[in-house]
Amino acid sequence: MDSEEKYQMNSFQFGLFQKRCLVAVLIAACLAPQLAIAQVVQQAIGGIAVDAQGVLSTPTELDQEKLGQIRQQAHIHMLDDIERWTDLRAVSLKQIEAQLAESRRLEKPVPPEVLYLAGLQRVQYVLVYPQQGDVVLAGPAEGWRMDAMGNMVGLTSGRPVLLLDDLVVALRTRDVSQLEPISCSIDPTPEGIQRLRTLTSRQNRIGNIEHTLASMENALGKQVVSVTGVPPTSHFARTMVAADFRMKRLAMGMEPAPIDGMPSFLEILREGRGNPNMSPRWWLAPNYLPLAKDVAGQTWELRGQGVRCMTEQDYLDDSGRRKTSAKSGIAAQRWADTFTKRFNDLAEQDSSFGKLRNAMDLAIAAALIDQERMLDQTGLELPELIREYPIVRYHAPTQVSSQATFVQRRGDYLVSTSGGVQLLPWKVVEQSHHSAELNQIHKQLSTTSTEWYRE
């Protein structure tokens, strides 16, 4: 049984009414027409569009218009204590489990506060409370709004909030990540590479730029989108693909960066800096410091900005297959370093990148829960979170059209770079050190209350 089948085997036990309500609350938490919401879920949410055939693309003007209408109609209500900003808010896995079980019993939609995990924007701490039989996640939090991409982000910070769906996926795949990475990749086919090589070998000069680029895109054809470690129909998978896709568009200059001081890879090449290699491969990976923990091993802190961009050059054999990867070129490395350095600023302006960091946080927290046997320590059982609760399913992205760009000053061209996202949560949690500062955090968030969130 593959990871998709294993994961989804119990995910359709709620009735149709429950599923429809869940989709409506998850995407908009508003009174918008449910049909319009369902269309946006499947087509254009989070900065990308995926159709029923699995073709990945940028959202169309019509998609953006529909999303804008939903944003205008949205009436998001939340409790005052959830709406205000706080540096530290905690959510109880034990009580979230109880909330989900109660919603199932009453056949009611899950409250939006639970779907958005009380507005948490990072997993900063993972805490164990054996006497209370609980595991707690904590971090900065505030209320939320829908941004232009359709993502829920903080009212004042603009940083995306954590999603229950991503937590569920992280918990259900925490053992899978020991065997294979959680990853996505967008790559040309060997046949497409061969066709492109044949085309370019016959060209003595660029000629009409638009015609030449269109010919290159047609020769390379559709590229393959692959996902491992999590269900390809999950929001977690969509988050990885969206971040990878949008990163490549920034690198290729297909759209301007939302922040100053971040040139595209093509702009760097136009400046004449670096070698002329035009086969860069960029991917997004974890960027965490060693975890901190208290002496008792009951409080853990995730440290670091979370995401970095890495690069190398693709080396392809005569058949168009990747054999080995060489050291990255100077220009490609400079772009990757700039992306990493400016990641925090970028994530505040483009929520697709902040969402990727949130997903990585949750995957690492889940791996830590598994490695430290926190559920065994506390006697905590999570049947809803680990088996029963049905997540929203999206069209699985499987292919994307190639895009080509021309470097004006150099006379070179760039055709749809390769790369992806790769996360090995267990590698991150293997490194840790003690910190006495965490004892106070454990005391501060301890409670005997049955409330599912606290400060």
Q: Is residue 323 pLDDT above 80, yes or no?
A: no
Strand pairing category for 55-57 and 399-401: parallel
Averaged pLDDT score across all residues of the chain = 85
**Cα–Cα separations (whole angstroms), residue 370 to 157, 171, 366, 375:** 31, 9, 6, 8
Element housing 282 (H / E):
strand 280-293
Cα–Cα distance between 198 and 265 in angstroms, integer? 25
Q: Which residues of 207-221 are buried (b: 16+ CB within 10 A; e: fewer)?
A: eeeeebbebbbebbb
Select, from the ranges 201-210, 304-313, 383-392, the one with the highest average predicted confidence (pLDDT).
Answer: 383-392
Report H helices in 47-175: 61-73, 80-83, 93-106, 112-115, 164-172
pLDDT, residue 447, reads 83
Q: Residue 307 in 3-state DSSP?
A: strand
pLDDT, residue 40, reads 40
Q: Look at the block and give the residue holding tokens 């879920």.
A: 41
pLDDT, residue 376, reads 97
Residues 97-104, mean pLDDT to the nearest whole number: 97
Across 317-381, the runs of DSSP E, i.e. the strands, are 322-326
Q: Look at the block and give the residue holding tokens 């990747």.
A: 322
Which residue did the predictor score with more confidence, 276 or 181? 181
pLDDT, residue 204, reads 65
Q: What percent of the chain has pLDDT over 70?
A: 83
- Chain segment 106-153, per-residue pLDDT in tens: 999 999 999 999 999 999 999 999 999 999 999 999 999 999 999 999
Select, from the ranges 6-20, 39-53, 192-206, 434-448, the one with the highest average predicted confidence (pLDDT).
Answer: 434-448
- Chain segment 87-98, per-residue pLDDT in tens: 999 999 999 999
**Total number of domains constituting the chain:** 1
71 within 8 A of 27, measured Cβ to Cβ:
no
Q: Is residue 17 pLDDT above 70, yes or no?
A: no
Least confident of 128-132, 182-186, 313-317, 405-409: 313-317
Measure the CA angle with vertex 293, ends 341 and 180; round to 5°.
65
Residue 174 burial (CB count, 10 A)? 22
Pair of tokens at residue 336: 């990757």
Residues 258-271, mean pLDDT to the nearest whole number: 89
286 within 8 A of 307, measured Cβ to Cβ:
yes
What sign results for the dihedral spanned by CA atoms 342, 344, 345, 346?
Answer: positive
Residues 431-435, mean pLDDT to the nearest whole number: 95
Element housing 187 (H / E):
strand 182-187
Half-sphere exposure of 200 toward its Cβ, with a 13 Å CA cutoff? 16
Sequence-distant (≥ 6) Cβ neighbours of residue 121 within 8 angstroms: 139, 140, 141, 142, 154, 157, 159, 160, 161, 162, 354, 358
- Chain segment 330-360, per-residue pLDDT in tens: 888 999 999 999 999 999 999 999 999 999 9
The model's pTM is 0.88
11 within 8 A of 168, measured Cβ to Cβ:
no
pLDDT, residue 418, reads 74
Which residue did the predictor score with more confidence, 265 or 318? 265
Full residue range of the structural domain in which residue 149 is found:
3-454
- Chain segment 277-300, per-residue pLDDT in tens: 567 889 999 999 999 999 999 999
421 within 8 A of 243, measured Cβ to Cβ:
yes
Sequence-distant (≥ 6) Cβ neighbours of residue 328 within 8 angstroms: 280, 311, 312, 313, 336
Which residue did the predictor score with more confidence, 16 or 453? 453
Q: Is residue 313 pLDDT above 80, yes or no?
A: no
Report H helices in 91-226: 93-106, 112-115, 164-172, 190-201, 209-220
pLDDT, residue 206, reads 64
Residue 39 burial (CB count, 10 A)? 16
Q: Residue 346 in 3-state DSSP?
A: helix
Q: Residue 257 in 3-state DSSP?
A: coil
